[in-house]
């Protein structure tokens, strides 16, 4: 198989890729005036974004240890470039105070946007999200499974165009994009190396095509890796690592009472540092979080558990991976059919048997099972049964048992991870040189 040439290298770093950021060796430790100004602007912006309630000028001065004149100038620059806005202070009764009220400053998440895309054999889904990672619009288009790579890329660009048009956003306001895809992706996140279930997709320069359209940093990443990042950010992976009993799910896979009212992604817990996300789709894959970061491996192929030969019903060697459960079996489990129930339990045990060596090597705190196949309430019985069977069998094979969870993000998990990955590139700029983004306040 011919290996396609790498696409254009985006002028960006992707902090969540697991790859080391390039730093010029022996660079002199000299800070110029422009660098200092950018650093101060980033410090002020960071306080505005994190403070609650919206901070006044005096509070910005105190938090940054900068002089008041310096903070005043920086605040005006950030207002002019559209990253923050002035919010008049309100009195205790909710009315504006008499006289000249103290100005408060608020971050504008709609100053810019990122694009996340989830490419699958039979669908392309694109999300436009703001700088807080909130979905603004989602565009989904069905496609034929045998679509060529070039035609599939055209669907991606069409969905991006449609999503932006629906909310009146032009390309200058999109600052980064990430495409999630099945298959192997290179370490630089610039090309798909292999995608057996997507015709000619590996020879399609989707990064270059989207970069030409959006003129912003673009990355491509494996779908299971993005699912792991999405679940860690906004799903059940946003809980502190701890003893299994601390926040374990019940035998049926439901949240404990302590978790039932917790919004996924809420700041109540720290990001899980050791997690394996198992993506049960048309092809089996896994995303691995270790040390709080995505593990991609030397070639970018870490987590490719679809190449494992799982035990079959007769324990005879078969083809690699696990075929997805038939929809009839999933539906039959909900109806209480004995044969369907036995099939789901067997599937769960086979899954645990196959990935047990991976779990022994990684010793994760949490194993998350996720698939769009279990995305509705009707499929809950099958999902809970599968989780319980996998967990019970894994307990007999492992030294220390991880917590087992069902994804709380359902069919949006890859899309959520794509948004998170794209935002990581924007965050680098916001933390270092925010006024260089070239945005403008509304009406400017």
Q: Which residues of the chain have pLDDT under 70?
A: 1-12, 18-34, 89-101, 240-269, 313-318, 438-444
Phi and psi of 192, rounded to 5°? -90, 120
- With a CB cutoff of 8 Å and minimum separation 6, the contacts of 151 are 143
Q: What pLDDT is recorded for position 262?
A: 34
CA atoms within 13 A on the CB side of 40: 22
The per-residue pLDDT for 399 is 95
Cα–Cα dist 260/129, whole Å: 26
The whole-angstrom separation of Cα 308 and Cα 354 is 7
pLDDT of residue 285: 93
Give all strands of the β-sheet with 113-120 in edge-to-edge order: 135-142, 123-130, 113-120, 174-181, 218-222
Please, are residues 350 and 314 in contact by the beta-carbon 8 Å criterion?
no
267, exposed or middle or buried, with CB in 10 Å at 0-12, 13-18, 19+?
Answer: exposed
Q: Which residue has the tokens 């007999």?
A: 396
The pLDDT of residue 318: 67
Residue-level pLDDT at 257 = 31
C-alpha angle 262-355-309 in degrees, rounded to nearest 5: 140
**CA-CA-CA-CA torsion sign (152, 154, 155, 160):** positive
Give dist(CA 408, CA 427) in Å, integer.
25
Q: Which residues contact 351 (CB under 8 A, 6 or more apart)?
A: 278, 280, 310, 322, 386, 390
Pair 237, 275: CB distance under 8 Å: yes
Task: Give the start-end residues of each E strand in 174-309.
Answer: 174-181, 184-185, 192-194, 218-222, 275-280, 284-290, 293-295
Containing 116, the helix (H) or strand (E) segment is strand 113-120
Q: What is the pLDDT at residue 93?
A: 56
Inter-residue contact 253 to 405 (CB < 8 Å)? yes
Dihedral through CA 323, CA 329, CA 333, CA 337, nearest 10? -140
Query: What pLDDT was estimated at residue 258?
Result: 32
CA distance 414 to 46: 28
Q: Three-state DSSP class for 194?
A: strand
């Amino acid at each position: 198989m011919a290996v396609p040439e790498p696409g254009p290298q985006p002028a960006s770093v992707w902090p969540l890729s697991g790859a080391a950021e390039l730093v010029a060796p022996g660079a002199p430790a000299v800070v110029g005036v422009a660098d200092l100004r950018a650093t101060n602007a980033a410090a002020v912006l960071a306080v505005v974004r994190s403070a609650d309630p919206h901070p006044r000028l005096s509070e910005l001065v105190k938090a940054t240890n900068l002089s008041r004149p310096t903070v005043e100038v920086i605040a005006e620059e950030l207002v002019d470039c559209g990253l923050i806005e002035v919010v008049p202070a309100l009195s205790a009764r909710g009315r504006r105070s008499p006289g000249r009220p103290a100005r408060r400053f608020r971050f504008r998440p709609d100053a810019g946007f990122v694009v996340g895309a989830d490419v699958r054999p039979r669908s392309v889904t694109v999300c436009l999200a703001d700088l807080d990672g909130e979905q603004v619009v989602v565009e989904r288009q069905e496609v034929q499974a045998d679509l060529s790579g070039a035609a599939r890329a055209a669907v991606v660009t069409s969905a991006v165009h449609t999503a932006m048009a629906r909310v009146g956003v032009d390309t200058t306001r999109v600052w980064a994009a990430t495409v999630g895809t099945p298959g192997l992706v290179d370490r630089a996140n610039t090309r798909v190396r292999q995608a057996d279930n997507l015709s000619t997709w590996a020879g399609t320069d989707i990064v270059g095509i989207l970069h030409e359209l959006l003129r912003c940093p673009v990355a491509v990443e494996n779908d299971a890796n993005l699912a792991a990042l999405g679940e860690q950010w906004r799903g059940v992976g946003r809980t502190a690592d701890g003893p299994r009993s601390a926040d374990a799910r019940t035998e049926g896979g439901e949240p404990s009472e302590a978790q039932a009212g917790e919004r996924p992604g809420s700041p109540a817990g720290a990001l899980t540092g050791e997690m394996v996300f198992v993506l049960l789709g048309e092809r089996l894959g896994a995303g691995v979080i270790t040390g709080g970061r995505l593990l991609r491996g030397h070639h970018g192929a870490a987590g490719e558990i679809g190449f494992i030969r799982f035990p079959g019903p007769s324990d005879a060697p078969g083809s690699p991976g696990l075929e997805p459960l038939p929809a009839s079996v999933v539906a039959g489990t909900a109806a209480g059919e004995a044969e369907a129930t036995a099939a789901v339990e067997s599937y769960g045990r086979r899954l645990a048997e196959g990935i047990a060596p991976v779990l022994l090597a990684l010793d994760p705190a949490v194993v998350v099972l996720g698939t769009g196949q279990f995305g509705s309430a009707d499929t809950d019985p099958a999902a809970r049964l599968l989780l319980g069977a996998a967990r019970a069998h894994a307990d007999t094979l492992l030294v220390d048992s991880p917590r087992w969870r069902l994804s709380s993000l359902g069919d949006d998990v890859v899309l959520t991870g794509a948004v998170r990955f794209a935002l990581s590139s924007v965050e680098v700029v916001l933390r270092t040189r925010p006024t260089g983004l070239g945005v403008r306040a509304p009406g400017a």
